[in-house]
Amino acid sequence: MNRKMGIFIFVYFCFLIWLYFAIYESSIDNWWTVLEITQETDHIVDIEVSLVKVLIGMIIFTISGFIINLLLSKRPIKD
């Protein structure tokens, strides 16, 4: 398999795992969550997924994939 494709698939699945845990398994108190309170009254709290936090996470995973690709491309492939 091509090294770049393998790195892409690895980073993509890591992003999807993070996104799942950041939406469904986290609370508002966690620093890595993507949930935010949009409206709060005495009895009702509206919680939504923040698009900005998801985009920031996507940028972080993209940059980390690029760095992993740079680090692994320096090594010669032994056949």
Over the stretch 5-64, which tens digit does the pLDDT of each residue have? 999 999 999 999 999 999 999 888 888 899 998 888 888 989 999 999 999 999 999 999
Query: What mean pLDDT do residues 63-72 have?
Result: 91
Structural domain count, the chain: 1
Domain enclosing residue 21, as ranges:
3-73
Which pLDDT score is estimated for 76? 66
Strand partners, 45: 40
Task: Give a yes or no: residue 23 inside a domain.
Answer: yes
Is the full-model pTM beyond 0.95?
A: no
What does the pLDDT read at residue 78?
67
Q: Is 34 inside any structural domain? A: yes
pLDDT band, residue 1 (cuts 50/70/90): low
Report if residue 78 sits inside a domain: no
Residue 59 belongs to a domain = yes
Residue 46 lies in a domain: yes
